[in-house]
């Protein structure tokens, strides 16, 4: 073998090694690997894989009193929450310390939960990271610039001008009917195309209209902008720094991963994401989500009424007992509340099976904060 041929063989071998290494890195998360996975036609998908990752070393525990919480006030409220027939978890964090963690109705700390629309807030964080990295210029960019193939047959010029901002604030104007349009998509071969083919009901940018279809489009935008699936991008730039691994992530017929729904992880992992936002996007000294994006996405971008203080970029804003609060809320009682002034993170998850208490569970969480936890912090 001549020297030139030998060098060529070594070079080809190194390329192959790098290629295999890159593939291994990209497919190490089972939720993102579609190699042997049958794509599901149903819009909402569920996975029940247990989370077998141990993360005890990532947690710091203190009792209530050490973090300025009156235990005698807490007991009654905690007992009421424990009565829920569907509650699976409750985690309370104060000043970066876990002060309460409990599991109910047979659930365990290692169990994954379908976090539903809580994952919309995570998708929002991914958009902020993509902007910071230069994949996306700004929220004023047009959807059509990232998904041109889906706009070839669009005649309405207003649809062609839809922006990321309008999708992130649910002011897209599309005639989407939450919990109804999804059934149509169960028979669709291209969810994004069918969502963008909906007629306009309102002038884009004018009226808040909640739509899981809008976040599905944003998953496609993120994929086309970064060249990575939403699942891969999330794990590499958001989840891995936090020690999070999604156990399941839905994927549509075109290969776009679910945007803001059909994601499973543990309650502890949701709590970690909440602490990340409370700390303005920093985790253990690393700026994971840009601080400017945390501020923008949790600030009121649109007035939505319904007793809410507004809506940010896939975050619900509220005002409770004289404190600003922002929340990630998912169907079936998947809840993440953050109260910055009190350095407080609250996570509670519920079972979907036989659950008819969706909004009651959300109301119970507000009641617990108002009547129990905040008074226990403020004291007599």
Mean pLDDT of 54-68: 79
Q: Are strands 334-339 and 323-330 parallel, antiparallel or unpaired?
A: antiparallel
Residue 151 CB partners (closer than 8 Å, separation 6+): 143, 144, 159, 160, 196
pLDDT band at 55 (very low <50, low <70, confident <90, very high): low
Predicted local confidence at residue 333, as pLDDT: 92
What CATH class is the domain 62-378? Answer: alpha beta
What are residue 114's DSSP bridge partners?
264
Token pair, residue 129, equals 């990271």
What are residue 92's DSSP bridge partners?
100, 346
Rounded to two decimals, the pTM is 0.89
In three-state secondary structure terms, 337 is strand
Q: Are strands 286-287 and 113-114 parallel, antiparallel or unpaired?
A: unpaired
Predicted local confidence at residue 281, as pLDDT: 98
Predicted local confidence at residue 20, as pLDDT: 32
Token pair, residue 30, equals 């089972």
Query: Whole-angstrom Cα distance, residue 324 to residue 306?
Result: 16
Query: Whole-angstrom Cα distance, residue 182 to residue 42?
Result: 8
In three-state secondary structure terms, 332 is coil
Q: Do 334 and 116 touch, CB atoms closer than 8 A?
A: yes
41 to 31, 120, 189, 246, 251: CA distances (angstroms): 17, 20, 8, 21, 9
DSSP 227: S
Query: Whole-angstrom Cα distance, residue 238 to residue 269?
Result: 12
pLDDT band at 28 (very low <50, low <70, confident <90, very high): low
For 238-294, how does the pLDDT look when each residue is reduced to its tens digit (9 = 90+)?
Answer: 999 999 999 999 998 888 999 999 899 999 999 999 999 999 999 999 999 999 999
Predicted local confidence at residue 182, as pLDDT: 84
Mean pLDDT of 287-313: 93
Mean pLDDT of the chain: 87
For 132-152, how does the pLDDT look when each residue is reduced to its tens digit (9 = 90+)?
Answer: 999 999 999 999 999 999 887
Q: Parse the chain into domains and list their residue ranges.
A: 62-378
Query: Whole-angstrom Cα distance, residue 324 to residue 337?
Result: 11
Name the nearest CA neighbour of 347 among 246, 242, 273, 255. Answer: 273
Name the nearest CA neighbour of 231 among 253, 215, 252, 246. Answer: 246
Higher pLDDT, residue 42 or 112: 112
First-to-last alpha carbon distance for the chain, in angstroms, is 86
Q: Do 269 and 160 touch, CB atoms closer than 8 A?
A: no
Whether the CA torsion 163, 169, 172, 178 is positive or negative: it is: positive
Mean pLDDT of 91-107: 95
321 — alpha (psi -120 to 50), left (phi > 0) or beta?
Answer: left
Higher pLDDT, residue 254 or 17: 254
What are residue 335's DSSP bridge partners?
329, 348
| Edge-to-edge strands, sheet with 316-320 | 97-103, 87-94, 344-350, 334-339, 323-330, 316-320, 310-311
pLDDT band at 38 (very low <50, low <70, confident <90, very high): low
Is pLDDT of 154 > 90? no
Predicted local confidence at residue 37, as pLDDT: 66
Higher pLDDT, residue 59 or 60: 60
């Amino acid at each position: 073998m001549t020297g030139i041929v030998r060098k060529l063989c070594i070079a080809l071998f190194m390329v192959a090694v790098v290629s295999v290494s890159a593939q291994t890195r990209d497919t190490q998360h089972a939720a993102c690997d579609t190699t042997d996975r049958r794509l599901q036609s149903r819009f909402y998908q569920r996975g029940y894989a247990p989370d077998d990752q141990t993360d005890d070393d990532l947690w710091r525990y203190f009792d209530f009193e050490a973090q300025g919480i009156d235990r005698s006030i807490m007991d009654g409220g905690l007992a009421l929450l424990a009565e829920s027939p569907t509650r699976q978890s409750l985690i309370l964090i104060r000043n970066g310390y876990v002060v309460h963690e409990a599991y109910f109705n047979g659930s365990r700390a290692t169990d994954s939960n379908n976090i539903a629309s809580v994952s919309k807030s995570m998708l929002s964080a991914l958009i902020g990271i993509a902007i910071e990295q230069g994949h996306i210029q700004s929220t004023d960019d047009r959807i059509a610039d990232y998904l041109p193939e889906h706009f070839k047959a669009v005649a309405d010029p207003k649809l062609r001008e839809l922006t990321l901002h309008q999708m992130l604030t649910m002011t897209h104007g599309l005639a989407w009917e939450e919990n109804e349009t999804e059934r149509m998509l169960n028979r669709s071969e291209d969810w994004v195309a069918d969502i963008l083919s909906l007629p306009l009901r309102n002038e884009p940018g004018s009226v808040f209209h909640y739509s899981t279809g809008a976040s599905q489009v944003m998953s496609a935008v993120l994929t086309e902008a970064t060249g990575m699936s939403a699942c891969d991008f999330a794990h590499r730039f958001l989840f891995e720094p936090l020690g999070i691994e999604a156990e399941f992530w839905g994927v549509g017929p075109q290969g776009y991963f679910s945007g803001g729904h059909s994601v499973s992880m543990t309650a502890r992992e949701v709590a970690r994401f909440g602490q990340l936002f409370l700390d303005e996007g920093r985790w253990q000294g690393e700026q994971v989500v840009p601080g400017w994006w945390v501020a923008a996405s949790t600030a009121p971008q649109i007035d939505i009424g319904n007793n809410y203080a507004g809506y940010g970029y896939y975050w619900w804003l509220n005002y409770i007992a004289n404190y600003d609060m922002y929340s990630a809320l998912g169907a079936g009682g998947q809840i993440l509340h953050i109260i910055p002034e009190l350095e407080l993170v609250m996570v509670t998850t519920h079972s979907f099976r036989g659950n008819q208490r969706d909004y009651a569970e959300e109301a119970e969480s507000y009641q617990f904060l108002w009547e129990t936890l905040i008074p226990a912090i403020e004291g007599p």
